[in-house]
Amino acid sequence: MDQFKNIIDDFKTTISSIDNQRELLVTKNIFVKKHVSPLFGQLKQLNELEAKKAFGKDLNYLQETIQQLFEEKNQQLEINLDQSIKPAYDLMIPALDLVDGSIHPLNLVINQIVDFFKKFNFTITNYPELVSTKHCFDDLNIPLDHPGRSTTDTFYVNDKQLLRTHCTAGTIEAVASMNKHKDIRVISFGNVYRNDTDDATHSHQFMQMDFMWVKKDLSLANLKWFVTKFIEHMFGNDLKTRFRLSHFPFTEPSFEVDVECWNCQSGCFLCKKTRWIEIMGSGILHPKVLEAAHIDSEKMVGIAAGIGIERIAMLKNNITDIRDFYLNDFRFIKQFYE
């Protein structure tokens, strides 16, 4: 019994100067492994039944006592910790007024866009921002000598991968995955990247939305009707629109879509004295784009359009500097309560 009493006394001495719970637990485990565990080997070596019973009883007492001493010390350390923390808090100090949050203006625009396309049963997709040159350029009929492929315009990771320059890289991949369907409707949005110098109207990173609708017998009339409905949804019914012939490698024919300036009648800073504001690019998908998605361009027709989300937000709210969206200045963001 003296052997067990000495072990208990040693344990008391060992833990007496410990001042944190983690060290206490580690010390206890080491102590038990060194001083208690070997006693089980001694127990097995005893042959006499009575001696074995007595030794086992003392060994149980030793374990219980060490555990009790550990718990008492741990509880005391817990109390000490609580007491040391309490002075740091004064529950009588008045709380600071919490400022109401609001949805970021770009998210407000995205929500409005999604509401429109949901009404027409479009599939909403979002693909990785790191894409292959195949999806970003080749599948969209963008030639090898196109300026958009240049390292001065695009962020390349290696020869075959880049940060996407438009969401269409994901949209066409989604269309290709649905190429057996007779009516394909896809919208994609997210961050895109251009190697531009940041200024009031340009950013190396911005957000874009585009859609593709592939179906038999679609026409320019369908494109014009659908794009006009989208603009009315985003800006109201009172704006006049016009479609100007343009050129994009992935659509033929291609159109720039303008809306009549709502800020003036004769020209202003917003419309750059033209009375028209460019909104988006659109067109009929080029047959090579459909073929790259394994869709028969003789039987199916695709209409498509794309627009910058910051552009919509800037026009809707008369914002003149695109950089304002990314400064996280609450004075700016709080203006856009729903």
Condensed to tens digits (0 to 9), the pLDDT of residues 55-77 reads 888 888 888 888 898 899 888 88
Query: Among 58, 88, 118, where does a domain finish?
Result: 88
Could you give the number of structural domains in the chain? 2
Q: Which CATH number covers residue 164?
A: 3.30.930.10
Are residues 112 and 72 part of one domain? Answer: no
Report pLDDT for 248: 93
**Pair 113, 161 in one domain:** yes
Structural domain contains residue 244: yes
Residues 239 and 307 in one domain: yes
Whether 68 is covered by a domain: the verdict is: yes
Statement to judge: residues 58 and 162 lie in one domain: no
For residue 99, being part of any structural domain is answered with: no
Residue where one domain finishes, among candidates 59, 88, 117: 88
Q: Identify whether 97 is part of a domain.
A: no
Q: In which element (H, E) is residue 189 found?
A: strand 183-193
| Residue 27 CB neighbour total at 10 angstroms | 16
Q: Answer yes or no: is 253 within a domain.
A: yes
Q: Is residue 96 part of a domain?
A: no
Q: What does the pLDDT read at residue 166?
A: 92
Beta-carbon contacts of 69 under 8 Å, excluding residues fewer than 6 positions away, are 8, 11, 12, 15
Residues 229, 292 share a domain = yes
Backbone phi and psi for residue 333, each to the nearest 5 degrees, phi listed first? -65, -35
**Shared-domain flag, residues 49 and 110:** no
Looking at 31, 61, 88, the residue that finishes a domain is 88
Same domain membership, residue 210 and residue 152 = yes
pTM over 0.75: no
Beta bridge pairs of residue 144: none
Whether residue 32 is found in the same domain as residue 123 = no
Same domain, 44 and 145: no
Cis peptide before 94 (omega within 30 of 0): no
Assess if residue 258 is contained within a domain. Answer: yes
Query: Which positions of the chain have pLDDT values less than 70?
Result: 1, 85-91, 99, 337-338
pLDDT of residue 316: 86
Q: Are residues 279 and 307 in the same domain?
A: yes
Specify whether the CB–CB gap between 109 and 338 falls below 8 A.
no
Per the DSSP assignment, residues forming a β-bridge with 190 are 208
pLDDT tens digit string along 224-266?
999 999 999 998 887 789 999 999 999 999 999 998 887 777 7
Does the annotation list 278 as a binding residue? Answer: no
Range of the structural domain that residue 9 is part of? 2-88
Domain presence at residue 338: no
pLDDT of residue 291: 94
Do both 19 and 128 map to the same domain?
no
Give the integer Cα–Cα distance in Å for 186 and 167: 11
Distance of alpha carbon 204 from alpha carbon 193, whole angstroms = 6
| Domain identity same for 309 and 264 | yes
Return the half-sphere exposure (C-beta side, CA atoms, 13 A cut-off) of residue 320: 5
